Structures are given as structure tokens and as C-alpha cells.
Amino acid sequence: MDHYIIALLEKEHWTEEDRQQVLQYLATSNHSELQQHLLRRFREATAQQKSSEHASALLQSIHTQLQTVAPAVPRNRYRRLVIASTAAAAAILAVVVFTAPHLSTKNKKNQPPAALIASKFGEDVRPGSNKALLTLGNGKTVILEDTKDGTIPAGDENIHKAQDELVYNHTGESVAVNTLQTPKGGQYQVVLSDGTKVWLNAASTLTYPASFRGNTRTVTLSGEAYFEVAANANMPFYVNTPEEQVLVLGTSFNVKAYTEEKRNTTTLIDGAVKVAKAEKEIVLQPGEQTVYNKSTGRLQASGGDPARAIAWKNGQFAFKNDDLKEVMQTISRWYDTEVKYDETLDISTIHVTGFMRRQANLSSTLEILEITAGVHFKIQGRTINVTR
């Protein structure tokens, strides 16, 4: 651990230069050890509280402050890639700022070693990885994580695999329909024949032609995906979900449409899209979002949070006053687990705000959730048990 950074963390008052140096360190370093250090100190600061209300209120204040740290709408590719990790770093940083008056260095000898934190839930689960199942037009399936890089034997479909990404030849002539399916605990990337790039999140399915023909480009999505659509005004791009249709000309956006969740969202990063449901259509501007409520059948515009919407693509979990059930659905999809709740636990009253790394083991993620949600977890095999 960088002793200079630790010295800065021990200060009760920072200059703007101090703050920028720590933010830079956290945003660009593999800071798992530092994160555990800060989490231990945060627990010390709240250990004397009789309930979790103090911790929850404190973190809510922290993330209100984050709005002045992380820009709401990234304007270029570099910032789009790092904004989620910067916000995560700021969240850790804010813990130190808000709790510094309560912290003491006298008890460091009594702090549990980092190795014990990983085992406090009984067992542990590794994070998801790049894996998916490709179904070709002839019905043949290809397990991509078991397939070497190179051209995939697929007749005239002309598919190349390189570094956990599928690339379709722009000059391909095949009209076959392919399906890319990620399991729980999986994610994958594909470049379609027109140059459109798609990042597919866990437990998602994308169906698309091996080569686009005709006057439109149409794909079908179940689950979640981030799109960077190749511009072609003469050939509009459509994303169909079970409930909605998104019309695109050339833009970057995120669609979340899991069948088990109570609402779908479409969040626009750049460009313009039109989201349609039955007779209603909504045109989005950058930074805006639509929400489709499945129980009411209502589609409406909502204030978007692009950084949070695409945090998953950039290796982060990002929650903002989300209810615990939705949060645990996201967690269980990525770690390929099931979730069981204690019958006495009223999960409808519990909301979570926070940033976490998707590449951390499950125990590290649950460690942060325990602080923010005021609940307790136990891992048994691939089951997460949640209690008060």
C-alpha cells in the first residue's frame, strides 16, 4: 500500500491538491487492499451505533456529494470508460472525509487481517467472466469460452473470434440469423456486420442477422446490452425487446429489459433514439431515459443517469436508492447465484446506494452491501442468504 496515500488518508483536512491526488490514485490503481483498509475503518466508526441507520444516512450523504465529483454525462470515449471507476473511487474517498473526525489509529493492532474479511460469509464466489453460447443459422452451437481465436467454421456466415469478441465480416452475404446468449455470470462483446458494437450483460440474449439486408437493421434483445450503433441514415437500426422498440440512426445507448424485472429502461448516452410502445413514442436527448412499467403498461420519460446506466459495462455496480430485491437480482446474475431472504425481513423498505467493482469476489461486494443496506449475508454454495 502506498504510504504517501495512507498519510493523506489520515489527515482530517485536505487541500484541493490532496483530494485530486487521492482520486487519481484510487481511479487508476488496483486498490483492493486500500478498499479493505477503508472499509475496516468505516466499520470502526459505526461499531458503537445500535442500528444501521447511522451508516445508511451517512452513505446517502456521501453519494449526494458525489454529484459534484462525477460528471453526469460523459462527452468522449475516454471519460465514458473511466467515469464509473472514478465515481467508485470518490465513494471510497468520501467515506474517509465524512468519518475522519470519528476515526482513531490506536486500534490498528486489533483490526482483522484482510484475509479474514473474505471468509466472514462462510464461502466465496468468483465474479463473472467473458463467456457465451453462439447459435448459428444452421442450429449448431459454439461455446465461445472453449473456442480458440480465429475464424469460426460457420459456412458463409464469416465470423471471427478475437480476445473474447465476435466480429462479423462487413462484406458477408449470409442472411442467416444468429443468437448470442450469455449465462448468469457471463458477458460478451460482438461487432455486427455493419460495424455496430454491442456489449451484452449477464443472462442476456441478442438475436441478429449475420449480415444486414434490406432497408432496416433489426436486432432483438432480452436482458441488457450497451450499443454503439454505426451511423447509416438510409438504414435505420431497431432494437426490439418483448415490450418495446427502440429506433436508432447512429448513437450510443443502454437497454435494460430483463423479463424478471418490473420495469425496462433505455438510457441515451449520445445521439438520439425514439422509444415506442404501442401508440406512444418518446424521443430522447443525451442524458435522458425512458422507463416502461410492466405492471401499469406505462412508458414515460425520466431523468437519466448515464454513468450509472453503463457502469456495468465499465466494470462497476452502481446503485442509487435502488430497492434491495433489484440490487440482489443484479448481484445474483453476475455471480451466478440464487438469493434467499429471511421470512421476517421486509425487503421493500431497504434501499441501497453505492459503487462496487464487478471484478471483486462476491464476499467483497457483500461486505459493502452489509454497510449500506444494514442486512447480513451468508454464502452457502451458490446461495446467498439474507437476514437482518
DSSP string for 126-170: ---EE--EEE-TTS-EEEGGGS-SEEE--TTS-EEE-SSEEEE-T
Residue 142 lies in a domain: yes
| 270-289 confidence digits (pLDDT tens) | 999 999 998 899 999 999 99
Q: How many residues comprise the chain?
A: 388
238/373 same-domain check: no
Residue 215 lies in a domain: yes
Buried b (16+ CB within 10 A) or exposed e, 225-251: bbbbbbebeeebbebebebbebbbbbb
49/144 same-domain check: no
| 226-259 confidence digits (pLDDT tens) | 999 999 988 999 999 999 999 997 799 999 999 9
370/252 same-domain check: no
Domain's final residue, options 85, 111, 137: 111
The predicted pLDDT at position 37 comes to 63
The predicted pLDDT at position 4 comes to 64
212/139 same-domain check: yes
Residue 96 lies in a domain: yes
* Contacts with 354 (C-beta within 8 Å, 6 or more apart), sequence order: 59, 63, 91, 317, 319, 368, 369, 372
Residue 146 lies in a domain: yes
List the single range of 13-27, 199-213, 304-318 with lowest mean pLDDT: 13-27
Can you give the CATH number for the domain in which 367 is found? 3.55.50.30
35/84 same-domain check: yes
Residue 382 lies in a domain: yes
| 333-373 confidence digits (pLDDT tens) | 999 999 999 999 999 899 988 788 899 999 989 988 888 78
Residue 18 pLDDT exceeds 80 = no
169/266 same-domain check: yes
Domain's final residue, options 309, 335, 363: 309
Residue 119 lies in a domain: no
Question: What is the mean predicted confidence (pLDDT) over 206-233?
Answer: 95
The predicted pLDDT at position 28 comes to 52
Q: Whole-prediction pTM value?
A: 0.74
- Amino acid, single-letter form, for residue 307: A
Query: 46 burial class (0-12, 13-18, 19+ CB within 10 angstroms)?
Result: middle
The predicted pLDDT at position 39 comes to 60
55/165 same-domain check: no
184/52 same-domain check: no
Can you give the CATH number for the domain in which 154 is found? 2.60.120.1440
231/175 same-domain check: yes
| Selected residue with higher pLDDT from 187 and 17 | 187
135/282 same-domain check: yes
The predicted pLDDT at position 201 comes to 98
Backbone torsions φ then ψ of 213, nearest 5 degrees:
-135, 155
The predicted pLDDT at position 301 comes to 94
CA pair distance 143, 108, nearest whole angstrom: 48
Helix (H) / strand (E) containing 265: strand 263-270
Full residue range of the structural domain in which residue 334 is found = 316-387
Residue 120 lies in a domain: no
Residue 321 pLDDT exceeds 80 = yes
User: Considering its fold, how many domains does the chain have in total?
Assistant: 3
* pLDDT mean across residues, the chain: 79
168/301 same-domain check: yes
CA pair distance 217, 195, nearest whole angstrom: 12
265/331 same-domain check: no
Question: What is the mean predicted confidence (pLDDT) over 80-99?
Answer: 39
Q: How many CB atoms lie within 10 A of CB 169?
A: 17
Domain's final residue, options 309, 336, 366: 309
Pairing status of strand 197-200 against strand 217-228: antiparallel
Residue 124 lies in a domain: no
